[in-house]
Amino acid sequence: MYRIRLHGRGGQGIKTASRILGTALFRSGFEVQDAPRYGAERRGAPIFAYVRADDKVICERGLIHQPNLVVVADETLFDLPAANVLEGLDGRAVLLINSERSAQDWCRQLQLPGQVTVLDGAAVVREAGRVPAGALCVGAAARLLGVVSRRALLQAVAEELAGHDAAAIQTSQQAVSQAYELFAGEAGLVQRLQSGAKKSVTTPPKWVELDCEALPRAAPTITMAATSALVKTGLWRTRRPRIDRALCSRCGLCRTLCPEGGIDLDGEGYPVIDYRYCKGCLLCAAQCPRRAIAVADERTVSPPQPKEGEP
Which residues sit at the interface with ligand SF4, rule CB under 6 A?
A: 42, 241, 243, 248-254, 258, 260, 262-263, 271, 273, 278-284, 288, 290, 292-293
Partner from ligand SF4, other proteins, none binding residue 250, C-beta < 5-8 Å depending on class: ligand SF4
Q: How far is the CB of 290 from other proteins (least distance, A)?
A: 15
Least Å distance between CB 301 and ligand SF4?
Answer: 13
- What is the spatial distance between Cα 118 and Cα 114, in angstroms, rounded to a whole number? 13
Contact 44, 237 (CB under 8 A): yes
Q: Which is nearer to ligand SF4, 22 or 271 (CB)?
A: 271
State which of residues 68, 232, 271, 292 lies at the interface with other proteins (CB under 8 A).
232
Reported residue count of the chain is 311
Provide the H-helix boundaries in 150-202: 150-160, 166-182
59 binds other proteins (CB under 8 A): no
The pair phi, psi for residue 256, each rounded to 5°, is -65, -40
> How far is the C-alpha of 17 from the C-alpha of 160, rounded, in Å?
9
Nearest CA-CA partner of 83 in 12, 23, 189: 12
Stretch of 15-23, 140-148, 168-176, 261-269 lying at the interface with other proteins (CB under 8 A): 261-269
Interaction of residue 45 with other proteins, rule CB under 8 A: yes
Alpha carbon distances (Å) from 117 to 71, 79, 114: 10, 18, 10
C-alpha distance from residue 112 to each of 50, 52, 83, 223, 304 (Å): 21, 23, 17, 41, 21
Asked if residue 242 binds other proteins (CB under 8 A), the reply is no
| Partners of 95 in the β-ladder | 70, 116
Please list every residue from 164 through 223 that binds other proteins, using CB under 8 A.
Answer: 165, 210-216, 218-223
Per-position x/- string for 122-161, each x denoting binding to other proteins as judged by CB under 8 A, each - no binding: ----------------------------------------
**Out of 122, 123, 286, 294, the residue judged to bind other proteins by CB under 8 A:** 286
CA proximity to 53, closest of 20, 83, 85:
20
Contact residues: other proteins, CB under 8 A: 10, 39-45, 163, 165, 210-216, 218-233, 236-237, 253, 256-262, 264, 274, 276-277, 279-283, 285-287
